[in-house]
Amino acid sequence: MEITSPNTVDAIRIAGHGMRAYEEGLAVSGQNLVNLSTPGYKRLAPLYINFESTLARVAKNQPQPMISVPYAVSAARRDGLAGAVRFTGRPLDVAVEGNGVFEIQAADGIAYTRRGDFTVDERGRLVTHQGFPVMGLSGEIAASGTLPLHITRNGEVRQGERLLDTLKLVNLGDNAVLEDAGNGLYRSQGAATPLAETEVQLRTGHLEASNVDAAQEMIRLMGTLRQFEALSRVVQMSDESLEKAIRKLGDL
Amino acid sequence: MNNALYVAATGMRAQQMHVETVANNLTNSVTPGYKRSRVSFDDLMYRQSAQNTIDQARPTSAYGSGVMINFVSKSFAPGDIRKTDQPLDIAIQGEGLVEVVMPDGSTAFTRGGTLKVGADGILSTSQGHPLKGGIQIPTGAMDITVAADGTVTARTEAKGEPVELGHLEINQFVNVEGLEPIGEALYRATALSGEAQPGKPGEDGAGTFAQGFIEVSNVNLADEMVNLMMAQRAYSMSVKVAQAADEIMSMVNNLRKG
């Protein structure tokens, strides 16, 4: 996009960038709203990046004057706020109270999750709802025999009276950069410090719900829609004034 | 293309399936031995946004593609045991199931129910599937008793001594939720549930038999009604997202008049 003196065509292009950004924002709100019932879901928060700052970074040595415009592109980051803890009554459902995430052996390495609806796979291992093994302090947790598994408040996984292992919960730190691996799993490049035994507080028979606030999300949806509408009016009006200019100039 | 519309569609599909599951639970709220179904929601795979060609320094971000129900499983939480005083009503108190033989010779499992003595005298379920062990009840036998440990006895004469006719075993599974329901309160073992481990009732965590009792459905009406309301609201929210996406597309279409 060339930066020349501001004109009407630029107005259309700029509004177009904003409209694309809001369209993505709508998809993000939609994603959040349909995942109201997904346990452990962390809402996506759209970030509308100021176009001026992006441009200033890219075109540092341009002699032409910069145009100041509201937004250009959007990105979405995860809001790690804890969701409500809801009762399910299922023995292998666990919710973490306070800090800490479960460590999971995913297909391509270690991942972390807050979603605790665990089950047992055909090899008797404690696994996530997708079948990835849940890590204990001594690695994978495997049951033998048919006594049902149960998990205690401080993370001990027992089969009857026998202690199999203790769940490994880690603290990723407040400033950890998390990479989304989908289905409630996250990867972290930073350090993962295991929680001390006394710090582990779980609630069995409960699950952490989605942290999406339906009312807030609907309001954001409505706001996004109206802002999109406003920009589409900018495009329409620019188009009309261009049409008038061409006609009038053509009449000469 | 407008992804919000497709995301909304996944939401509607998932909540519709949720409502169907809840409806099935509600219609079976008084079916003896019924185990309620539960759904598991999951967010759908993520796609990266197109590479930002203006500013290479900014990382691409990932957007979601909606929601899905990745499985519907049974909750084997025990239902309440209700006294019926019918001698052939057998409930299992605690964990485990009883093995039955299907007409094609394969194995299925049940949590008990109303038993009957088949035409051939074999102790069977009310649908006529014989219990494993082929316990033969002699004609004219009275006071058929199933003890807590599975011993089946009966009296052949009015004042005679009870005669031991056989034993019923309790089968346990590594992952009882992995059992496949085949209707009529019967279940089949799968790779996920693991193989059946037969055992003596009352030992190693196996449940015991309670004669004269029926296990009622483990459907909790209050929970299911709440689920139904939540599913309806979530469905209408997905519809709102679809409507918003539709409005956006309509505005785009009307950018140029004529």
> From CA A40, how far away is CA A185, in angstroms rounded?
9
State the pLDDT confidence band at A48, using cuts at 50, 70 and 90: confident
- Say yes or no to pLDDT of A5 above 80: no
ipTM over 0.85: no
Indicate the residue of B70, B95, B238 with minimum beta-carbon distance to A148: B95
Judge: A239–B2 Cβ closer than 8 Å, yes or no: no
> From CA B19, how far away is CA B16, in angstroms rounded?
5
Measured in angstroms, the CA of A183 and the nearest CA of chain B are apart by 5
Task: Compute the average pLDDT of residues B207-227.
Answer: 94
Query: Global pTM?
Result: 0.82
Judge: B176–A39 Cβ closer than 8 Å, yes or no: no
Token representation of residue A101: 């995430």
> For the segment A101-129, what is each residue's pLDDT rounded down to a tens digit?
999 999 889 999 999 999 998 888 999 99
Query: Percent of chain A at pLDDT above 70?
Result: 85
> For the segment B9-61, what is each residue's pLDDT rounded down to a tens digit?
999 999 999 999 999 999 999 988 889 999 999 988 766 555 544 444 444 45
Measured in angstroms, the CA of A27 and the nearest CA of chain B are apart by 4
Report residue A237: phi and psi, to 5°.
-65, -40
User: pLDDT value at position A202?
Assistant: 93
Strand extents, DSSP E, A155-250: 156-159, 162-166, 169-171, 178-182, 185-188, 193-194, 202-204, 206-208
Measured in angstroms, the CA of A196 and the nearest CA of chain B are apart by 30
**Residue located via tokens 């609201």:** B233
The 8 Å CB, 24+ separation contacts for A175-181 are A178/A78, A178/A80, A178/A112, A180/A78, A180/B46, A180/B62, A181/A106, A181/A111
Q: Which helix (H) or strand (E) holds B44?
A: none
State the pLDDT confidence band at B156, using cuts at 50, 70 and 90: confident
> From CA B73, how far away is CA B179, in angstroms rounded?
9
If one compares B76 and A55, the residue with the highest pLDDT of the two is B76
Which residues, other chains included, contact A9 with Cβ-Cβ below 8 Å and sequence gap of 6+?
Answer: A238, A242
User: pLDDT value at position B57?
Assistant: 44
- Say yes or no to pLDDT of A62 above 90: no
User: pLDDT value at position B238?
Assistant: 95
State the pLDDT confidence band at B67, using cuts at 50, 70 and 90: very high
B18 vs A contacts (CB less than 8 Å): 37
- The number of residues in chain A equals 252
- Is some CB atom of chain B closer than 8 A to the CB atom of A24? yes
- Is some CB atom of chain A closer than 8 A to the CB atom of B221? no
> For the segment B72-113, what is each residue's pLDDT rounded down to a tens digit?
889 998 899 999 989 899 999 988 999 999 999 899 999 988
Task: Lay out the sheet containing B98-101: strands in order across.
Answer: B98-101, B107-110, B186-188, B180-183
The helix/strand count (H/E) of chain B reads as 2, 19
- Say yes or no to pLDDT of A50 above 70: no
- Is some CB atom of chain A closer than 8 A to the CB atom of B80? no
Please spell the DSSP secondary structure of A99-153, one letter per residue: S-EEEEEETTEEEEES--B-EE-TTSBEE-TTSPBBEETTEE-B--SSSPEEE-T
> For the segment B130-149, what is each residue's pLDDT rounded down to a tens digit?
998 888 888 888 888 999 99
Judge: B70–A129 Cβ closer than 8 Å, yes or no: yes
User: pLDDT value at position A71?
Assistant: 56
Q: Measuring CA to CA, how many Å separate B103 from each of B21, B107, B130, B131, B148? A: 29, 9, 9, 12, 28
Say which range, A15-19, A162-166, B250-254, has the weakest mean pLDDT.
A15-19
| Number of CB atoms found within 10 A of residue B85's CB | 8
> From CA B108, how far away is CA B130, in angstroms rounded?
10
Indicate the residue of A35, A117, A182 with minimum beta-carbon distance to B46: A182
> From CA B237, how far away is CA A218, in angstroms rounded?
8
Q: Is B78 in contact with B165 (CB distance < 8 Å)?
A: no
Measured in angstroms, the CA of B181 and the nearest CA of chain A are apart by 17
Alpha helical stretches, state H, chain B: 3-27, 221-253
Judge: A232–B252 Cβ closer than 8 Å, yes or no: yes
